[in-house]
Amino acid sequence: MITGTGITKTYKQRGNVLSGREVKALRGVDFSIEKGGAVSFIGESGCGKTTLGRIIAGLETHDGGEIVIDGVPMSSLKPRKREPYFRRIQLIHQDPYSALNPTRTVHQTLAAPLALRARRTGRPGSWMDERAEELLALVGLDPGYVLPRYPHQLSGGMRQRVVIARALTVDPEMLVADEATSMIDVSLRLGILSLLKDLRERLGVSVLFITHDVATARYIGEGGDLYVIYRGQVVERGQVETIIENPVHPYTQSLLSAIPVLHGLEKPGEQPVVPTAALDESKTDDGCLFARRCPFSTDRCASEVPSLAVTGAFPQEHSCFYPERRSVVATPLEAA
């Protein structure tokens, strides 16, 4: 339903021509999300995954490349004409505390977009209330309890469900969930994740899940694609299960190695990969962007730019000159 080719985005930091520094948030990213599909972006903060999510949701412009929604290239349309396309894609923020207007009840929050919709489609006013109740029930809330309340009277998990219900008022074809559970209590996270999974299965809504937590990406994006993003570039891409079981890019491997091991339940992977240096955005790199931190880099990595492709016997795309399987993920202990 939406594809992007060669998406680039550069932020200019304040300053004059001489002192202004450019930050390359995205360096030519290709992506494709099918109708009803699930795609996850993972990477560290600052890798560009949020920027890409916002571009996909139409909240941010890109500098280069083309986005095509349902076969229509967005560059061929005037900004105003793009609106109905991007309305099909709704963003769910990380922070349900700031995503809702604190001075509006849940009823008011949902009524505003529904009223607009009722007017456009010539539906009666009573439809609004019915639909609001329907949507709240769909996201697992009790409409009678929630509708008259203000955001501060709800828990974080309930608020995030209200945010999702609000996104659904426009009947979107795709939800972009940006770290949608990271601010929610641990025992409630899975509820939100399974809700998104459920919406995908029941309503056929595509879900783009943006996170730094690979395990939640696996949960929600079962069978879908995983994009590993590093410094504005996709470094590994393929089916989520394939990449978790057999990651071949050293960056993916170091991400997976960094996941805490539940000692007592699991034993750590045998070949953990630890980056040799910390991330330093100020350094410019000629070759592979990860070469400076990569424990396996060679002279070639420092000078030559690898491209994202399928090579060797590995099913996924990756951008490493020396792809290799390494056992980095923890495995469950045998039940005692």
Distance between CA 296 and CA 302 in Å, rounded?
11
Mode of pairing for the β-strands spanning 89-92 and 174-178: parallel
Give strand ranges (E) for 130-194. Answer: 174-178
| CB nearer another protein, residue 45 or residue 303 | 45
Angle at which helices 156-168 and 186-203 pack, to 10 degrees? Answer: 20
Closest distance of CB 137 from another protein, Å:
17
Nearest C-alpha neighbor of 225 from the set 209, 245, 205, 202? 209
Closest distance of CB 305 from another protein, Å:
23
Q: Which amino acid is at 224?
A: G
The one-character DSSP state at 287 is S
At 117, list the tokens.
């919709």
Query: Are 151 and 97 a contacting pair, CB within 8 Å?
Result: yes
Closest distance of CB 332 from another protein, Å:
5
| CB nearer another protein, residue 65 or residue 156 | 156
Query: How many other CB atoms are found less than 10 A from the CB of residue 43?
Result: 25
Q: Which positions lie near another protein, rule CB under 8 A? A: 44-45, 155-158, 185-191, 193-194, 212-216, 218-219, 222, 244, 254-266, 274-275, 278-279, 329-333, 336
Nearest C-alpha neighbor of 269 from the set 214, 209, 190, 313? 214
Closest distance of CB 44 from another protein, Å:
4
Closest distance of CB 102 from another protein, Å:
18
| CB nearer another protein, residue 124 or residue 264 | 264
Closest distance of CB 224 from another protein, Å:
12
